[in-house]
Amino acid sequence: MTIKDTLLYLGKAVLFGLIMAAMFLLVTHYFDNKSLGNSLLQNRGNNTVELSFAKAVRRAAPAVVNIYSLSIDQSRPLNSGSLQGLGSGVIMSKEGYILTNYHVIKKADEIVVALQDGRKFTSEVVGFDPETDLSVLKIEGDNLPTVPVNLDSPPQVGDVVLAIGNPYNLGQTITQGIISATGRNGLSSGYLDFLQTDAAINAGNSGGALIDTNGSLIGINTAAFQVGGEGGGHGINFAIPIKLAHSIMGKLIKNGRVIRGALGISGEPINPVVAQILNLPDLRGVLVTGIDPNGPAARAQLLPRDVIIKYDGEDVPGVEMLMDRIAETTPGKKVMMTVIRQGKQQELPVIIDEKVVVSN
């Protein structure tokens, strides 16, 4: 055997050893990881291990409540009344704050919250936000279960998720699926950034929890895609991401409503044809297509066909970013906008109004 053959043989052996070591470390990490080893693999006895989401469900399910409307028969007002199932909700804190959908409670006169341990509470509405279809309720009780919340790790397409709720008033039900898509906005308003999942979300699931395999809350179930008047069962269901829902909840607890800024414009993204017609250097910015005659934009003398390229010193890549920044601006604040008008760049100051939200 030549020296070259010897070195080649030793190199293959070393490479094989490194590959095996890497595989061993990977497998060890795989089964030591809490989200899989502790949550998904359950020892069923007889030396058998099965895939299970039971631990995740045990962590989250007690905090998912059923929401009812208490109806009083006016002809027999002394009777206790009957409960009508409306949907679901999630206990977010020991203080008794509950997140649910606005459409779940908007027509209810008196709201009753039923916990999984059998307790029932009459709740008060802290605040609601029709724009994001969210509402916060509050109950008074001791030792209330709360759901674990994950704000730091955004869900990704392909993640396994579980939907917990009270479909058709049958009692708490768990369905399983994956995240099919993220960033599905436009279904309700520009402020929403839906998660799409194929976990079944039927009537009564609205306001319930979408959790990951650790049992942490990642979304509030809110809508099922409608096909020919039929909802659910088509694998196209939606949830509000918990980061957005948590932010809205904080605002509702603080102010009873969500205060948003308004500029009073409608706009479109820049496409190559528009860029060429308006002599624009690139495709960034928002083309102003409509102006509220009584809004801040009109008072600032913004014109249709103006292109907004900067808002409050920040570059504007597109419509969604601009609308979000406007909504986040405190009403009454003076903001500088950079616009391109007839090929020339100029600065326009504008004082932002408060957006008026009409509930229906």
- Compute the average pLDDT of residues 260-266: 92
First CA to last CA distance, the chain: 87
What are the residues whose beta carbons fall under 8 Å from the beta carbon of 40, sequence distance 6 or more?
51, 52, 53, 55, 213
Please report the pLDDT score of residue 169 as a whole number: 77
Q: Is the pLDDT of residue 20 over 90?
A: no
pLDDT at residue 124 is higher than 70:
yes
Residue 123 has pLDDT above 90, yes or no: yes
Provide DSSP, 45-103: ETTEEEE--HHHHHHHGGGEEEEEEEE--TTSTTS--EEEEEEEEEE-STT-EEEEEHH
pLDDT score of 139: 96
From the candidates 133, 212, 306, 353, give the one annotated as an active-site residue.
133
Residue 103 is a catalytic residue: yes
For the chain, give the percent of residues with pLDDT over 90.
50
What pLDDT score was predicted for residue 47? 61
| Residue whose entry in the numeric block shows the structure tokens 């003076």 | 334
Contact 96/66 with Cβ under 8 angstroms? no
Q: Is 206 part of the annotated catalytic residue set? A: yes
Sequence-ordered list of residues with C-beta below 8 angstroms from that of 73, at least 6 positions apart, any chain: 79, 81, 82
Look at residue 160 and tell me whether its pLDDT is greater than 50.
yes
Where is average pLDDT lowest: 179-188, 254-263, 322-331? 179-188
Looking at residues 312-316, what average pLDDT do you find? 93
pTM for this model (two decimals)? 0.75
Q: Which has more pLDDT, 12 or 204?
A: 204
Looking at residue 205, its pLDDT comes to: 86
Residue 79, pLDDT above cutoff 70:
no
pLDDT of residue 153: 83
pLDDT exceeds cutoff 90 at 287:
yes
Query: Is 234 part of the annotated catalytic residue set?
Result: no
* CA quadruple 273, 275, 276, 282: dihedral, nearest 10: -130
Pick the catalytic residue from 103, 129, 135, 353.
Answer: 103
pLDDT score recorded for residue 188: 41
- The active-site residue out of 88, 135, 180, 206 is 206
Tell me the two tokens of residue 33.
């990881």
Q: What is the mean pLDDT of residues 39-64?
A: 76
Question: What pLDDT digit, counting tens, does each position of 223-262 carry?
Answer: 766 544 444 456 688 999 999 899 999 999 999 988 999 9
Q: What share of the chain is helix, strand, coil (3-state, %, to 5)?
A: 25, 35, 40
**In this predicted structure, what is the pLDDT of residue 7?**
57
Rounded CA gap, 130 and 128, in Å?
A: 6
> For 80-89, 145-154, 299-308, which range has the lowest pLDDT when averaged over its residues?
80-89
* Across 325-348, average pLDDT: 93
Which of the two residues, 207 and 48, has the higher pLDDT score? Answer: 207
Mean pLDDT value of segment 92-120: 92
**189-231: per-residue pLDDT in tens?**
555 678 889 888 888 888 999 999 999 999 999 876 654 444 4
What mean pLDDT comes out for the span 113-134? 92
Question: Across all residues in the chain, what is the average pLDDT?
Answer: 83
Give yes or no for residue 62 having a pLDDT over 50.
yes
